[in-house]
Structures are given as structure tokens and as C-alpha cells.
């Protein structure tokens, strides 16, 4: 069974990589992802300067998923560019990048454009946890403005990480904008922003930043991820690939996201809860499911979801 997939110029031998922000802030963590059964690595979203992030506790696991308000802790863009320049892996590395204001996001991409880095880059337009900053992906004008500025100078493979959308008209409007740019891919979805997990015993919220509000990941959000991948696959130019992210804990979940049109799939909360062994387990479950169904490669079923009849 062939599990390979391509996005732009990159070939992934297996379709599972880590979601940005999961096991990827330090060189030690990133090397562990590369040494695991993951098909590639995404870096923690990098900002121009290093950031400590929000006060702890800022991540909490539940039976059905997680809540986080990390606040973009990262080692700074130079650190991730150096790591990539010095690693000898043959697995693709996706450099995630962002900023707390538009000028910083542009400056970060200008630095990447001027560097020797030739891989793919993911512009995160959807961090829900920076105090006082809205998610750009929910603002159509701001999204258009940043992509106009970016594609004035940026020529390397670029994707955008999007927040979840919940209305069919949002998909129409967003896809109409995204289709105007030479994007290599979109990644749907980031965490479902500003949810609330509370503890009934102590009658308190479970994380400290933002009064307890934070991004929800894990099993709670799989139907939202499936919907976003499906809705964008139905609306985007076929040249724009899709990374499907959200709520995967089994090989069947991966199969479902690919059926909706995902090219590769990212693991977030499941890796926080189970560790890097999740990659090998879920790869095997996907392989077994494909074998049982008589599928030999991902293109045998990618995007083939049928309507009810």
C-alpha cells in the first residue's frame, strides 16, 4: 500500500504530520518528530522575535480533547530557519510563521523570501490566543490585504492556516478570495477559538489566560474539520491543495478527512495525549482500513465522498 502524497514540490512518504504547535517548539522536540513515524514536520508558528507566551496553566486535556491558550510561545524565526538549514532529514519540513500585527507577518515572510530556505511555509492567519488580537482569517478585508502584500514579493511555496468557518456563505466569500492568489495549499482547521472548559468540582476555569477561554482541539472538533475540508475542496481551484487538521484520533478519522478532499492530515491533541507513537498507530490503522476496502493508494478515494441518495 502506497501512502505517499504531494503538496507543491514536497513529497510525503506518509500523510500524517504534526499540527503546528504540537511537539515542535525546540530542536529536541522537532528532531523527535522527524525520528518518529511522522511523514514530515511542521514547526511551531514562528514570530520575528522569540516569545514566552501566556501565563501557565495554558493547556488542559479532557476526555474528548483539549483547550489551549498558549499565546504563541516560540524561539523566534531565526531559530527555526537555523534548525532547517542544519537538519539532514529527507522528510519535508513546513515552516509555520505568524505575527501579532500584519507588518510583522510581512517582515517575517520577507526574511524567509531572502533566506536560503526553499521548502514550504504556512502563514498562520488563525491564532485565537493572542490577547487583544482578532483572528485575521475571520476578517475578509484583512485577509485580502495581507495576501495582496505577501504575493507582491513572495515566490516560494506558501499555504495559509485558517480558522474554522461555520456558515456556507463564509466558505463562498473566503474561497473567492483565496482563489485569486498563487497559494500552494490551505490548512483547515486551527483550533475552534475561544471555547470554555470548566471544572464543576472547583467551580473554576481550567486555564489561566483570557479568563479561561481558549482554542478547542480533539474529538470535539472532527465534524467541523470534515466540513471545512469538504467545503473548501468544493470551492477552491484544484491546484490549491488541502491539509486537513482537527480531531483525528484513528486511521478511520484520517480516511474520512481524505475522503473529504484532504491531501495530507495533521495530528494535534492526539499527539499531546498519546505521544509520538500516535503516528505509527494511526498510519497502521489507515493501512489496515485501506487494505480491507481494497484501496492501494490515497488517490483511490481522495475527495470521493458521496452525497446521500
The span of 68-76, 80-88, 146-154, 249-257 binding ligand RRO (CB under 6 A) equals 68-76
Q: Is 71 in the site for ligand RRO (CB under 6 A)?
A: yes
Closer to ligand RRO by CB, 93 or 290: give it.
Answer: 93
- What cell does 221 get? 472538533
Among residues 127, 216, 242, 286, the one annotated as catalytic is 127
In this structure, which long-range contacts are made by residues 82-88, counting pairs with CB atoms below 8 Å and at least 24 apart in sequence? 83/27, 83/30, 83/43, 84/43, 84/117, 84/119, 85/116, 85/117, 87/30, 87/31, 87/34
- How many residues of this chain bind ligand RRO (CB under 6 A)? 15
Give the contacts of 244 (CB within 8 A, at least 6 positions apart).
Answer: 188, 225, 229, 257, 258, 260, 261, 262, 263, 264, 265, 266
The mark string for 18-57 relative to ligand RRO (x by CB under 6 A, - otherwise) is ---x-----------------------x------------
Q: How far is the CB of 55 from ligand RRO (least distance, A)?
A: 12
Q: How far is the CB of 4 from ligand RRO (least distance, A)?
A: 27
List 42, 68, 184, 228, residue binding ligand RRO (CB under 6 A):
68
121 is catalytic: no
Using DSSP's 3-state secondary structure scheme, residue 159 falls into: strand
Taking CB under 6 A as the criterion, which residues in 88-147 touch ligand RRO? 124, 126-129
Q: Is 245 in the site for ligand RRO (CB under 6 A)?
A: no
Q: How far is the CB of 117 from ligand RRO (least distance, A)?
A: 20
Give the contacts of 201 (CB within 8 A, at least 6 positions apart).
Answer: none
Q: 10 Å Cβ neighbour count for 173?
A: 15
Closer to ligand RRO by CB, 3 or 97: give it.
Answer: 97
Spatial separation of the C-alpha atoms in residues 221 and 203, rounded to whole Å: 25
Q: How far is the CB of 69 from ligand RRO (least distance, A)?
A: 6
- What cell does 166 get? 461555520
Helix (H) or strand (E) holding 61: strand 59-62
The span of 66-74, 82-90, 143-151, 168-176 binding ligand RRO (CB under 6 A) equals 66-74
DSSP letters of 188-217?
Answer: E---EEEEE-EETTTTEESS-GGGGEEEEE
Catalytic residues: 127
Binding residues for ligand RRO, rule: CB under 6 A, are: 21, 45, 68-72, 124, 126-129, 190-191, 215
Amino acid at each position: 500500500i502506497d501512502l505517499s502524497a504531494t503538496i507543491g514540490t514536497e513529497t510525503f512518504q506518509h500523510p500524517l504530520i504534526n499540527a503546528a504547535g504540537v511537539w515542535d517548539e525546540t530542536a529536541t522536540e522537532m528532531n523527535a518528530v522527524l525520528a518518529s513515524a511522522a511523514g514530515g514536520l511542521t514547526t511551531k508558528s514562528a514570530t520575528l522575535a522569540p516569545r514566552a507566551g501566556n501565563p501557565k496553566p495554558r493547556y488542559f486535556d479532557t476526555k474528548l480533547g483539549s483547550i489551549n491558550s498558549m499565546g504563541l510561545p516560540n524561539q523566534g524565526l531565526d531559530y527555526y530557519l537555523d534548525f532547517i538549514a542544519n537538519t539532514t532529514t529527507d522528510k519535508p519540513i513546513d515552516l509555520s510563521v505568524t505575527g501579532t500585527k500584519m507588518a510583522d507577518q510581512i517582515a517575517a515572510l520577507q526574511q524567509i523570501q531572502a533566506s536560503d530556505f526553499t521548502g514550504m511555509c504556512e502563514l498562520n492567519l488563525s491564532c485565537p490566543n493572542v490577547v487583544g488580537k482578532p483572528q485575521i482569517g475571520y476578517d475578509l478585508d484583512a485577509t485580502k490585504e495581507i495576501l495582496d502584500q505577501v504575493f507582491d514579493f513572495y515566490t516560494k511555496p506558501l499555504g495559509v492556516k485558517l480558522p474554522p468557518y461555520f456558515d456556507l456563505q463564509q466558505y463562498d466569500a473566503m474561497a473567492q478570495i483565496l482563489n485569486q492568489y498563487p497559494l500552494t495549499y490551505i490548512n483547515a482547521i486551527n483550533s475552534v477559538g475561544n471555547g470554555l472548559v470548566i471544572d464543576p468540582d472547583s467551580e473554576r476555569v481550567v486555564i489561566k489566560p483570557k479568563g479561561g477561554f481558549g482554542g478547542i482541539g480533539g474529538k470535539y472538533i472532527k465534524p467541523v474539520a470534515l466540513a471545512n475540508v469538504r467545503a473548501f475542496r468544493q470551492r477552491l481551484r484544484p491546484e490549491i491543495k488541502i491539509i486537513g487538521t482537527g480531531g483525528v484520533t484513528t486511521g478511520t478519522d484520517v480516511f474520512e478527512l481524505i475522503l473529504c478532499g484532504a491531501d495530507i492530515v495533521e495530528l494535534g491533541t492526539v499527539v499531546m495525549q498519546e505521544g509520538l507513537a500516535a503516528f505509527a498507530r494511526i498510519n497502521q490503522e489507515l493501512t489496515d482500513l485501506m487494505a480491507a476496502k481494497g484501496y492501494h493508494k490515497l488517490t483511490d478515494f481522495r475527495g470521493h465522498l458521496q452525497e446521500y441518495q
